[in-house]
Copies of this chain bind each other. A is one copy, B any other.
């Protein structure tokens, strides 16, 4: 029996300060786009990736909320939370639900409404992804945690902060093409280097923006997918792993061991090695996370990601084009929705958008400061 799982529909809403729409409206927008893209008109279950609707908009039970307001009927609907990794984790739950034989067709919607509270409150809410008792309580924000990791990385591998500043440039390079991106423009390396310091050594331009957004994908068995398309995108490998919640508890704070393990699982399931991956969507919430990710997913040796970036290997035409729709930095990072945006963007690239000819792609979604990581390998099924 061929029980592969395929993605047959994608809907990516515009990312930004979406004061025109509430959380439920953002979700409905991307859901309808995904249905239109797929050709099917109903699903058996809904998985919602969302980090913090409770603190952000005083609303829980958003699985039911969205199923109800999107007109999906009485289908099972739950929210999956794994901090900024909620979207990727929800996608993997959807994948498993189909594998289990319980459902034929599943909708995975990532959504986050972050701009309805004051920025100071947003910083506090995001700190809920770190350890409230041992990290946030002492005033360490999420940017600060990443700055500490970056400082240590620079020391261990003798890398300059200016070298790591290449990653926002890479993500922004692809943004003008990305219709749903928050910032559809390129950045120069000098702009990133010279932008205001937020948490030394991280500058403003090293950090992904706070924003609203929703992305949806529809998953079904490959057999069903082939009723609708000759070229389904197959989910060939998935992996989810965790690390210590607190950065201070890790043996190596410059290694994302959850990324190492999640990718090992996903590669094994897909029967591939990092060399087989043509394109990747990387969780570039902060420049340092791009470097760690590329290294710990096995694409480049420790300490050498920035060098590869400076050589141009992560642009289209290079060894491994990344973040083809702007990444978290330019597309925006509506936290719980990000992982679903990445999957949708990977599907666009693999279907062929005239820029790359890729067979296999990878998406990496991080929650917390590397405390939970999901990795998905997708490939063309034609």
Stretch at the interface among A94-102, A169-177, A182-190, A303-311: A94-102
In which size bucket is the chain A interface? 35 or more
- Find the B residue at minimum CB distance from A59: B132
- Find the B residue at minimum CB distance from A262: B76
Given contacts A54-B55, A75-B242, A80-B80, contact A129 B60 (CB under 8 A): yes
- Find the B residue at minimum CB distance from A124: B58
A74 at the B interface (CB under 8 A): yes
- In the complex, what distance in Å separates the CA atom of A67 from the CA atom of B243? 9
- In the complex, what distance in Å separates the CA atom of A130 from the CA atom of B62? 10
A52 touches B63 (CB 8 A): no
Given contacts A54-B55, A99-B100, contact A372 B82 (CB under 8 A): no
A242 touches B100 (CB 8 A): no
Given contacts A58-B132, A132-B59, contact A68 B371 (CB under 8 A): yes
Given contacts A52-B60, A372-B63, contact A78 B75 (CB under 8 A): no
A77 touches B22 (CB 8 A): no
A133 at the B interface (CB under 8 A): yes
Given contacts A78-B89, A100-B99, A101-B99, contact A60 B128 (CB under 8 A): yes
Measured CB to CB, the closest approach of chain B to A37, in angstroms, equals 24
- What sequence of 0s and 1s flags, for each residue 251-273 of chain A, a beta carbon within 8 Å of any chain B beta carbon? 00000011001000000000000
Measured CB to CB, the closest approach of chain B to A293, in angstroms, equals 17
- What sequence of 0s and 1s flags, for each residue 95-118 of chain A, a beta carbon within 8 Å of any chain B beta carbon? 011011110000000000000000
> Interface residues, chain A, CB within 8 Å of chain B?
22, 45, 51-52, 54-55, 57-65, 67-69, 74-83, 89, 92-93, 96-97, 99-102, 124-125, 127-133, 136, 240-246, 249, 257-258, 261, 367-368, 371-372
> What are 26 A-B residue pairs whose CB atoms fall within 8 Å in the complex?
A54-B54, A54-B125, A54-B128, A57-B132, A58-B124, A58-B132, A59-B128, A59-B132, A60-B83, A60-B128, A60-B129, A61-B82, A61-B245, A61-B367, A64-B243, A64-B371, A68-B244, A76-B92, A76-B240, A76-B241, A76-B242, A77-B82, A78-B93, A78-B372, A96-B96, A99-B99
Measured CB to CB, the closest approach of chain B to A55, in angstroms, equals 5
**Which of B55, B99, B130, B258 is in CB contact (< 8 Å) with A74?**
B258
Copy total for this chain: 2
- Find the B residue at minimum CB distance from A86: B78
The interface residues of chain B lying within 8 Å CB-to-CB of A51 are: 60
Measured CB to CB, the closest approach of chain B to A154, in angstroms, equals 26
The interface residues of chain B lying within 8 Å CB-to-CB of A243 are: 64, 68, 74
- In the complex, what distance in Å separates the CA atom of A216 from the CA atom of B207? 38
